[in-house]
Amino acid sequence: MDHDYNRLVDRRNMDLSDVQSYVARWNENAWRIALVLHAAEHGRQAHEVELSEETARRALTIMEWFAQEQLDILAANREEEYRVKVERVRELVQRSGHATARDVQRARIVATATEAEALLLQMREDGDLADELVTPEGGGKRMRVFRAA
């Protein structure tokens, strides 16, 4: 269950950042499902028996099914929101010639720099953008700059 929680935290910051309020509940719900399965198996003695790994796995399997169904329902909305964000990033890149994750966040296209980075990397993957690591003229930390492909 802890591994599942950590996996979901990573995904909430990347590919599922736009639906993180849903994803945040998935592990909580898996624990609830595990409790129900555990109580069904052990009855009145459930509080005296440790939750088994098998019960946790079954709860996660049920929760994974639910999560996929929920994502399927949300898919149309997510795709439209993604298209709007992509168009806004294209406009930003066209105006300034390039964009960084911070630029995308400052333009309020997304809420966080992590979400911006995920969006830009997905656009690169889709062939919309190309990127390069650039060192500022005065030195300092290298940053990833995205340009039209």
Burial letters 43-76, b for 16+ CB under 10 A, else e: eeeeeeeebeeebbebbbebbeeebeeeeeeeee
pLDDT of residue 87: 97
**What confidence tier does 32 reach under pLDDT thresholds 50, 70, 90?**
very high
Mean pLDDT over 20-43 rounds to 96
Q: Running DSSP on this structure, what letter comes out for residue 18?
A: G
Mean pLDDT over 70-92 rounds to 95
Does the structure show a pLDDT above 90 at 137? no
Nearest to 27 by CA among 53, 54, 74, 66: 66
Nearest to 70 by CA among 27, 7, 26, 37: 26
Report yes or no: 120 and 99 within 8 Å, Cβ to Cβ.
Answer: yes
Does the structure show a pLDDT above 90 at 124? yes
- Predicted TM-score (pTM) of the model is 0.67
Instruction: Say if residue 21 is exposed, middle or buried (CB neighbours under 10 Å; 0-12, 13-18, 19+).
Output: exposed
Bridge partners (DSSP) of residue 130 are 147
